[in-house]
Amino acid sequence: MNSLDFIFQRRSIRKFTDDAVEDEVLEQLLRAAMAAPSAMNTKPWRFIVVREPDRLERLRGVMPFAKMKAAAAISVCADLRGPRNLVTGKFWQQDCSAATQNLLLAATALGLGAVWCGVAPMASLQKAVSGILELPAGVVPLNLVMLGYPAEEKPARTQYDPELVYLDSYGTPWKREIS
Ligand SMILES: Cc1cc2nc3c(=O)[nH]c(=O)nc-3n(C[C@H](O)[C@H](O)[C@H](O)COP(=O)(O)O)c2cc1C
């Protein structure tokens, strides 16, 4: 077991058992998410944990590519209100994406399955999801992570491709063969 295996094992899981995800497990995912870096440590992220079956159904109804039946969802949002500094409001997508990736990796490490379903920058999806989650003005959704205990398995893999890497300047090959 390599210490990086959990990164390669993370795959988008779209089939789930009916088992509920325990609060303690959800809290561990949120702890991992909030360990992410953010520009000037502004931590704009907010998380909506969704477990109400009706609300999950409504989310599935408006999300064209999030029809999977999951026991829970976490929407990673950003709060763009409040005092402004140099970066507030500028890097929220990067900040919330870093938090989301941490969350996905934590889910894998804890034996859960999860899939990132995109909301931003699709204005119509942002509006629909904001309505269902009752987000106040100034709080914007980045995505919806559907999660639960997995009912499908996918192989671990890296998508490493040395052709995508250059040395010192664009176009100079990095390594064509793994030694
Ligand atoms: C920004 C973003 C949006 C995505 N949106 C969806 C989505 O709406 N529905 C879905 O099933 N998967 C979605 N995915 C998952 C990708 O399809 C998936 O990561 C990709 O096919 C690679 O597969 P893997 O996650 O198993 O490595 C999204 C991923 C990202 C990063």
Q: State the distance from the centre of ligand 1 to the C-alpha of 84, rounded, in angstroms.
A: 32
Domains in the chain with CATH codes? 5-164 (3.40.109.10)
Going residue by residue through the chain (179 aa), what tens digit of pLDDT does each one get?
A: 699 999 999 999 999 999 999 999 999 999 999 999 999 999 999 999 999 999 999 999 999 999 999 999 999 999 999 888 888 889 999 999 999 999 999 999 999 999 999 999 999 999 999 999 999 999 999 999 999 999 999 999 999 999 999 999 999 999 765 55
pLDDT at residue 83, as a whole number? 80
pLDDT at residue 82, as a whole number? 84
Q: Pick the atom of ligand 1 nearest to 13's CA.
A: 26
Cα–Cα distance measured from residue 82 to residue 135, given in angstroms and rounded to the nearest whole number: 15
Place of tokens 């269902």: 132
**Residue of 62, 68, 105, 115 to mutate, ligand 1, most atoms within 8 A of C-beta:** 115
If we measure between CA atoms, which residue out of 60, 43, 56 comes closest to residue 99? 43
Q: Which protein residue's CA is at the shortest distance from atom 19 of ligand 1?
A: 12
Backbone Cα Rg of the chain: 18
Contact residues for 80 (Cβ-Cβ < 8 A; gap 6+): 44, 88, 89, 92, 138, 139, 140
If we measure between CA atoms, which residue out of 56, 63, 97 comes closest to residue 105? 97
Cα–Cα distances in angstroms (integers) from residue 148 to residues 9, 29, 103, in the given order:
16, 12, 13
Task: Tell me, yes or no, if the pTM score tops 0.85.
Answer: yes
